Amino acid sequence: MKFGVLFLPSGWKGTSEERVYLNTLGEAEAAEALGYDSVWLTEHRFTQYGRPGVSPLAAAIAARTRRIRIGTSVYVLPLHHPLEIAEDAAVIDILSGGRLDFGVGRGYQPEELLAFEVDFETSRERHNEALEVILQAWTTGKVEHEGRYWRIPPRDFRPLPLQKPHPPVWQPIVSPSSFDETVKLRKNAIIGSYMSPLSRFEQGYKAWFEALDRNGVARSELQVVSSLVVHVAETEAEARKNCEESYIWNARTFGGLIEPGRPEIKKYYADVSYDFIVQAGSLTGTPDHVREGIKQLQAYGLDYVVGFMNVADMDHQAVLRSMELFAKEVMPHFR
């Protein structure tokens, strides 16, 4: 199995902006030293739920590491001009020596999109059009586009990414139709369980494998990562001390940010308890407990786990200790 770490920087407990970003960099450096395969960066704005700056943060991590892959989970494409992202991501791929995993998405927070004058209802179309421009630029070294949202006259494109034909493209998938779309476009998949029952992974992986088979794509041709909340501690009591306040704040905040048209999901995150998150919606607890959880996920078909380990401004030293325990007492059992 492969293992990564997901970052969603937050400072809601009063951590300074400088320290929020420096903690992320320190945890990324620790991930490489501890033998993780990848780190993944998120993009959010305007609230304490995440931070902007995927490109500069990825470049800073590239400068501080030598081996670990750097993923974006995700660039919210409707918020950017596609040539801006094509250029930034290509530079990151070059500076990192070809270590970029290019994750993209449409965004799920309506207020975030509206601030950039993007209608939530058009976000999927904007995302698809932007990705078309980016891949054209990367694969041909030229760009010319006449679309609904962007019009670009003929231009040479530079710089080209180091990986050929381009860095691996990753896409979060949730709805049934998105499985087939992702496979047909030869994109790798990000399947997450954000404090929702981990048993949903069984259904998600079944749908993914069926989509591969339905479209005649070998299961070895595309990858899938599974992002979920992870925290490892010496005891259950220590895990609760480290996590409870942050888990509940993050669940309530996340539920308040998703689109109003999903009342059942908003209610779930408004009501979910710490005990339920630990028992069914995360890998939180002792090394033994977390190992058993991964064994169950492995039975569903998971072979690439990305742990969301610093959930909502948790204590930096507790996060580093969790990462160490996971690397030394969990990961070796699945390599």
Please state, in angstroms and rounded to a whole number, the distance separating the CA atoms of residues 284 and 239.
Answer: 7
Does residue 298 lie within any of the structural domains?
yes
Does residue 147 lie within any of the structural domains?
no
Does residue 212 lie within any of the structural domains?
yes
Number of domains in the chain: 1
Asked which of 135-139, 151-155, 259-263 is least confident by mean pLDDT, the reply is 259-263
Does residue 231 lie within any of the structural domains?
yes
Residue 38: give the domain boundaries: 2-73+169-334
HSE-up (13 A, CA, CB side) for residue 332: 8
| Lookup result for tokens 């990564």 | 4
Please report the pLDDT score of residue 127 as a whole number: 97
Does residue 91 lie within any of the structural domains?
no
Please state, in angstroms and rounded to a whole number, the distance separating the CA atoms of residues 44 and 42.
Answer: 7
Does residue 94 lie within any of the structural domains?
no
Does residue 181 lie within any of the structural domains?
yes
Does residue 240 lie within any of the structural domains?
yes
Please report the pLDDT score of residue 3 as a whole number: 98
CATH number at residue 11: 3.20.20.30
Convert the pLDDT of each residue in 74-120 to its tens digit.
999 999 999 999 999 999 999 999 999 999 999 999 999 999 999 99
Whether the per-residue pLDDT at 304 is higher than 90: the answer is: yes
